[in-house]
Chain A
Amino acid sequence: MAAPNKGRRPAGGQSRPGRALALILIAMVALTGGMFWSGHTTPRLGIDLAGGTSITLKAKAEPGQESAVNETNMNTAVGIIERRVNGLGVSEAEVQTQGRENIIVNIPRGTNEKQAREQVGTTAQLYFRPVLTVADGGPQVAPSATTSGSPTGTPSAKPSSSGATVGEKSATPTATATTQGRAVSEALKAPSPTPTASSSASTKPKATDTPTTPPAADAATLALQKKFTDLNCLDPKQRAAAGQGVKPTEPTVACGEDNPGVWAKYLLGPAEVEGRDVDDASAGIDQQSGQWIVDMAFTGEGSKKFQAITGKLSQQADPQNRFAIVLDGEVVSAPSVRTTLSANAQISGNFTQQTAQDLGNILSYGALPLSFETQSVDTVTAALGGDQLEAGLIAGAIGLALVIIYLVAYYRGLSLVAILSLGVSALLTYVIMALLGPAIGFALNLPAVCGAIVAIGITADSFIVYFERIRDELREGRTLRPAVERAWPRARRTIMVSDFVSFLAAAVLFIVTVGKVQGFAFTLGLTTLLDIVVVFLFTKPVMTMLAKTKFFGNGHPWSGLDPKRLGAKPPLRRSRRATAPVDAKEA
């Protein structure tokens, strides 16, 4: 810390202002460039500024099950809620945990906020439905296109999107899709498929499970067939929307993830068993095979239903012997049934510990692994959000202007350094906020804006500490260049200690608190860190450079460093002290 000989020090490392300035310049250019390159040139706005609905849910710990509120269950809940909200057609809904027991759901404006609210907190629907047909979940444009002899350019360009538009935009796939639809529909309706239908159906999903034994006449409508054919499980939107809003008594289509990233689509019969029929479920290891399995226990009524349906299913061939577990319209698992089961059942498959436990959780809690209580719902209209953003920006501008006026009035020319530093600080804060949006999901909310405004004061404080130190050195009779260097180590220590305290406060707040407090703490912490960076890499080097200029170095009256005005009593003036009494009385 303690700088060695004051005479030599300025010639050494301290006076290499160019390097530090170059460093921060490069950082600024790189960050700004990154911002434009990434295309996120404005910070992402929070619900309270952009408009929308923000819902805070708190996990309720049931008596005796306090440990149920854990990270795994919270994450499962987040996944389920996300699926539900996005099932409403919201593409940018954001669901995240906050703290240990809260889940925040942010729904941008323009969506059915009411419906979203109803979906979010409630317990999910869990049904057991018999599987009628299974097909590859991927786009079926490619194979059908080949059959019809049309070029396969479109699907290869962007499989998922072209799959999504099947039956709507492009003519060729529509034709084939209808054929397929008819094939499946007839497979469902007629006890035995017509030759054309079967050939068309079996050429397509050869790789996957092909319906060999069509089920007995179900009340499946043509619309459902079309829906099944058109369904593209690789498209998240379609996937989520697939099974939404279907009555349990009606057959439906749904997607399911067989293996990570591998999707299959299902045509499912009416629900036979419901989630509330499950009494308990847990993951375990099968003693014989050593594999992970899920054990289910049914309630009294549930086991009767389960017995009846498994009795029927076990007689069927694959895939009609399979029993899909459908959660919120998505097939979580579709195990095949080998024998009639009643009160207890065991699901085995390619489970890992994680997937087995997840399934166990889903089954035993009916849906969400935890029950949630709505803590707060904040619906902000676009108009109000805009007003608040505007007010925040005006407040910030006024605050900044006031600080600048004060600095100019008090520090004169020196304020230039402060203003430039504030500018650098503001630019860095803005760019980093804009970049943190896509990077970590940072959203600028009202408290964060407040934090940024308050930080103007913190940043300016650092300069004041340094400037006053320099002035103290000048008052002791030093010339500017040594004063700038001598003042630095001490000012640096003060700045570090006080910024550390500020940062500590911000960090503690960020870790401990929830909701709006967190946004505020984040900004405060970020700006405190930037303050250090700016003071070290910008303010100090600039001061060193300015000290070499005539204007500052010679203490021009407007430089803010005029020794006379500061009332310096340098040793060389000691003899003249009598003739120059405490000067600078004038304003």
Chain B
Amino acid sequence: MSKLGDLGARLHRGEVGYDFIGNRKIWYGLSILITITAIVALAVRGLNMGIEFQGGAVFTTPKTDVSVSQAQEYAEEASGHDAIVQQLGNGSLRIQVGGLDTAQSDQVREELAKDLNVPEEKIAAELVGPSWGEQIATKAWTGLGVFMILVVIYLAIAFEWRMAIAALIALIHDLTITVGIYSLVGFEVTVGTVIGLLTILGYSLYDTVVVFDSLKEQTKDITKQTRFTYSELANRSINGTLVRSINTTVVALLPVAGLLFIGGGVLGAGMLNDISLSLFVGLAAGAYSSIFIATPLVADLKEREPAIKALKKRILAKRASAAAKGEPLDAADDLPAEAAVVGPRVSRRDSQEYRG
């Protein structure tokens, strides 16, 4: 672990660092590739919508000796629809029958109870009308829209509009990837999935906000110096918060992993599993996007600003002249070589800020 701490120290001092901004085209390309794959998968394969979105019933029987295929036969006979039967960890069966309305599914439950020879009250049933999922989906979309608008406004005020835009793009990116993975793997989309997906909203932005916060601080007096371009400072921010980002992501993923493990391991399937699966995928995507997409995007947007552009020009000119004079220190493009100077320099700027 302390290796990570050691890395943290060296990252903090700028002794090591990965050039996230410089290599951003690679990561943009990767993200575009993943996004296109996700969209294609979505268009071709679609999503495996659970019964909550189609209408139908999920019956959970108590522990039983009836075999899966036998139960499937019973269920299909009783309902006249296709049935999916799964054996759960505790020996009970989960029988899923699509395309039923709530009144029909009630009868199916009755017949199943007879076939399986268990009292009807012992069979848990989730009966869903066809329009319920639609209602949930509509509300989820509304929620997503409202949240995006509000968060863009908030981030634009708390930070600036470029960061808000970048955060939004990163967010959409995360959601697309998550949905794409669902489509590719064929995981079932349930209400739990929707919950998980909506939670990613807050979480994906959490990491991004941490990096942006550092970025805002680092670039506060950017026009008053001629040492670093915006992109270089942005890169420093990412590197400086890297350990923090890794830690927060790991810590966020651990409980979700616990949920996933228990949801899948003990209960076989259900809401715990659905929520944690989409959270797991979305959180991983969120951590990736906050580092590789959101901040480079901000840098790209920022570099278009006249003041920042002029600054870059000045810095490059200064470096060129320094190189001509044969001063190796300032000629270096990348940070590691300058690290020894950078550390104290930055902290001096900080103390000015504090006195002010």
Contact = CB atoms under 8 A, between A and B. Distances in A.
Contacts of B27: none
A384 B139 contact: no
A375 B128 contact: yes
Interface in B261-279: 261-263, 266-267, 270-272, 275-276, 279
A501 B203 CA distance: 8
Contact of B261 (A395, A396, A407, A446): A395
B147 A403 contact: no
B114 interface: no
Contact of B206 (A394, A458, A569, A582): A458
Given A457-B251, A465-B248, A505-B198, A381 B121 contact: yes
Contacts of A374: 102-103, 129
A388 to B, nearest CB: 7
A461 B106 CA distance: 46
Interface in B93-137: 102-103, 105-106, 121-129, 131-132, 135-136
A517 B136 contact: yes
A215 B142 CA distance: 62
A165 to B, nearest CB: 31
- Do most interface residues of chain B lie in helix, strand or loop, or is the interface mixed? helix
Contact of B139 (A99, A113, A377, A407): A99
Given A457-B254, A498-B206, A509-B198, A447 B192 contact: yes
B29 interface: no
B39 interface: no
Interface string B125-158: 1111101100110011011001100110011001
Interface in A533-587: 565-569, 582, 584-587
A392 B267 CA distance: 10
B62 A458 contact: no
A520 B258 CA distance: 17
Contact of B102 (A377, A394, A476, A500): A377
Contacts of A6: 351, 354
B191 interface: yes
B251 A464 contact: yes
Contacts of A56: 132
Size range of the interface on A? 35 or more
B303 interface: no
Given A381-B122, A458-B252, A447 B271 contact: yes
Given A513-B136, A517-B191, A387 B90 contact: yes
A517 B266 contact: no
Nearest to A403: B254
B207 to A, nearest CB: 8
Given A377-B127, A395-B263, A517-B195, A512 B143 contact: yes
Contact of B154 (A117, A457, A504): A504
Nearest to A377: B127
A42 interface: no
A257 interface: no
B191 A3 contact: no
B255 A454 contact: yes
B202 interface: yes
B221 interface: no
Given A505-B147, A520-B195, A450 B356 contact: no
A501 B205 contact: yes
Contacts of A464: 244, 247-248, 251
A577 to B, nearest CB: 9
B257 interface: yes
A449 B140 CA distance: 20
Interface in A380-400: 380-381, 383-384, 387-388, 391-392, 394-400
Contact of B213 (A398, A403, A497, A516): A497
Interface in A228-252: none
A394 B266 contact: yes
A150 interface: no
A517 B140 contact: yes
Given A388-B272, A399-B255, A508-B143, A468 B244 contact: yes
A471 B5 CA distance: 9
B131 A373 contact: yes
Given A379-B124, A494-B213, A58 B272 contact: no
A502 interface: yes
A516 B206 contact: no
A494 B210 contact: yes
Contacts of A396: 255, 258
Interface stretch (B7-15, B66-74, B304-312, B315-323): B7-15
B6 interface: yes
B259 A395 contact: yes
A98 to B, nearest CB: 11
Contact of B12 (A58, A117, A472): A472
A460 interface: yes
B4 A410 contact: yes
B65 interface: no
Contacts of B165: none
Contact of B259 (A399, A410, A472): A399
Interface in A53-92: 56, 58
B225 interface: no
Interface residues of B, number: 95
B295 interface: no
B184 interface: no
Contacts of A394: 262, 266
Contact of B60 (A4, A384, A399, A450): A384
A503 B203 CA distance: 10
A376 B129 contact: yes
Contacts of A524: 199, 202
A406 interface: yes
Contact of B256 (A399, A471, A501, A567): A399
Contact of A461 (B103, B194, B251, B258): B251
A471 B8 contact: yes
A395 B272 contact: yes
B253 interface: yes
Nearest to B275: A450
A468 B241 CA distance: 9
A585 B90 CA distance: 48
B251 A398 contact: no
Contacts of A503: 202
B255 A402 contact: yes
Contact of B255 (A387, A403, A501, A509): A403
A453 B3 CA distance: 29
A48 B267 CA distance: 14
Interface in A456-497: 456-458, 460-461, 464-465, 468, 471-472, 475-476, 486, 490, 493-494, 497
Given A2-B356, A376-B126, A391 B263 contact: yes
B154 A501 contact: yes
A504 B5 contact: no
B127 A391 contact: no
A164 B210 CA distance: 64
A446 B196 CA distance: 13
A5 interface: yes
Nearest to B276: A450
A506 interface: yes
Contacts of B259: 395, 399, 450, 453-454
Nearest to B158: A497
A81 B10 CA distance: 66
Tell me which of B147, B248, B255, B354 has the highest count of chain A C-beta atoms within 10 A of its own C-beta. B255
B164 to A, nearest CB: 11
Given A388-B271, A460-B248, 10 more contacts: A381-B60, A395-B259, A403-B255, A457-B252, A457-B256, A464-B251, A497-B213, A517-B194, A566-B5, A567-B9
Q: Give the top 5 A-B pairs by smallest Cβ distance, nearest first.
A: A567-B9, A399-B255, A505-B202, A399-B258, A457-B252
21 contacts: A48-B271, A113-B121, A373-B129, A381-B62, A395-B263, A399-B258, A450-B259, A450-B276, A453-B259, A458-B252, A461-B251, A471-B5, A501-B206, A501-B209, A505-B201, A505-B202, A512-B139, A513-B198, A516-B192, A517-B140, A567-B5
